[in-house]
Amino acid sequence: MKIEGACHCGKVRYEAEVDPATVTICHCTDCQVLSGSAFRTVVPAPRASFRLLSGQPKIYVKTGDSGTKRTQSFCGDCGTPIYSSPVTEDFPAYSLRVGPIRQRAQLRPKVECFRRSALDWNPGLAGTRRFDAMPTY
């Protein structure tokens, strides 16, 4: 599915191809803090399909509890989260944040990961496959 995204102020715009069957809710504590919410909803986009149309996201590198480093990109003007990716030259996909995607209503989550970190008042979304940590695909 072709998607188009833009930050809140419109400075950073992009397009990509995504598979709606891969939309995931992440409940890890990093996603809670970085999203300012109880979880973050993401969809992978193959690196070859992602195209930046305007602007240049600001990059922050976060080191996870596992020691893995990931870029966290966002608009430097309005702060809208755009994507994350591994800190390597040959990574396979961007992890796009669903909020800035124009077609977000069509991207219903299918998986929930890091349920062990989910807030106790969040029972999860009906019909999702749930994992206590990051599943291996």
CATH of 2-130, one of 2.40.110.10, 3.90.1150.10, 1.10.3720.10, 2.170.150.70: 2.170.150.70
Q: pLDDT of 3-44, one tens digit each?
A: 999 999 999 999 999 999 999 999 999 999 999 999 999 999
pLDDT digits 0-9 by tens, 55-65 = 999 999 999 87
Q: What pTM value is reported for the model?
A: 0.94
Domain ranges of the chain: 2-130
In angstroms, the CA 40 to CA 1 distance is: 21
3-state secondary structure of 127: coil
